[in-house]
A = this chain, B = another copy of it.
Amino acid sequence: MNSFGRLFCVHIFGESHGNGVGICIDGCPEGIPLSADDFTADLARRKSGAPGTTPRIENDIPEILSGIYGGYTTGAPISILFRNENTRSSDYGHFAAMPRPGHADFTGCRKFNGFNDPRGGGHFSGRVTLGIVSAGVLAKKIIAPVNIEATLVKVGGSTDIQDKIKEALAEKDSVGGLIHCRISGLHAGIGNPFFDSLESVLAHILFSIPGVKGVEFGAGFSAADMKGSEHNDPIANSTGETLTNNAGGINGGISNGNDIRINIAIKPTSSIGKEQQTFNFETQQMDTLKAGGRHDACIALRIPVIVEAASAIALADLMFAKNRT
């Protein structure tokens, strides 16, 4: 389904080439100052335009449909709409017959029995993350002074990010990337022992970001290679500060007051200009596909702000649950 959260709830909607995309945010407390300007910085970080991002440029102007009065949240649902403008749908007609490898063309068709909107990926489009970034702006205000900072640390396995992107562009190919997210200022006691562990809830929303294929906390996969005496973080003082942070700030599913550290693996954009093999459902045999459309050579460039927004949404929800009494 298209909802996340129990107390701070977000509901997304929209398609890449339809009327627009948006989000409905429910459970936001009243009295938070919010104006269209508040969205500018984060939306700009998500925007295309830089080398390695799609040539499709959208203005991405949020229209706040509800929930704000006199410059403050009212406590009622906040609905935000982004109209689509720069659409060029003719590019996508043939993907039903020849589904792009690595893309949702085939699975979308199977899930929705061929009724899904194929234009620009339809509801599968990364454009739907505009709503998530918007809700993140609000969530960041709610969880302040907790601070979330996500950065792209590697592309194609290298820290020399621009070179890797140039290389991919030159080859009409795409390239994956690794994002690191650090959450600081979160006090101890957020999260739950089992099903809604802090890792569970953060991973849930992070894996909903298109392109994410791996999530690890603290030492993560390296922890599988370690001994307890290496991995355990010695507690150094009464606030729970630890000398190392292999746990990524989480023990038993609950924040321990140290920084939360998350690594997120982003696969390369599946849509590439380079020729690829796929099955042709019309001829019923494998065939060569040369994809049109306009795409990001490195979608990972645009994802850090989405990671931040997603994390903020999850934290707002968990912090509300903790505060219930």
Contact = CB atoms under 8 A, between A and B. Distances in A.
A224 to B, nearest CB: 4
A22 B63 CA distance: 14
Interface residues of A, number: 155
A40 interface: no
Contact of A203 (B200, B232, B247): B200
A196 interface: yes
A270 B24 contact: no
A224 B74 contact: no
A57 to B, nearest CB: 22
Given A74-B123, A77-B13, A252-B124, A2 B18 contact: no
Nearest to A320: B324
A1 B226 contact: no
A20 interface: yes
Contact of A76 (B13, B78, B250): B13
A116 B177 contact: no
Contacts of A171: 227, 229
B254 A111 contact: yes
A77 B30 contact: no
Interface string A1-26: 11110110101111100111110101
Given A13-B76, A81-B65, A268 B214 contact: no
A27 B9 contact: no
Number of copies: 4
A31 to B, nearest CB: 5
A240 B321 contact: no
A53 interface: no
Contacts of A197: 207-208
A154 interface: yes
Contacts of A281: 238
A113 interface: yes
A29 to B, nearest CB: 5
Given A66-B20, A226-B267, A324 B7 contact: yes
Given A13-B79, A215-B214, A234-B278, A194 B2 contact: yes
B14 A26 contact: no
Contacts of A247: 102, 213, 267
Given A7-B7, A110-B240, A168-B227, 7 more contacts: A2-B76, A76-B112, A176-B225, A214-B221, A224-B266, A228-B271, A229-B272
Closest 8 CB pairs of A and B: A104-B252, A157-B225, A214-B216, A102-B232, A174-B228, A76-B123, A30-B115, A107-B254
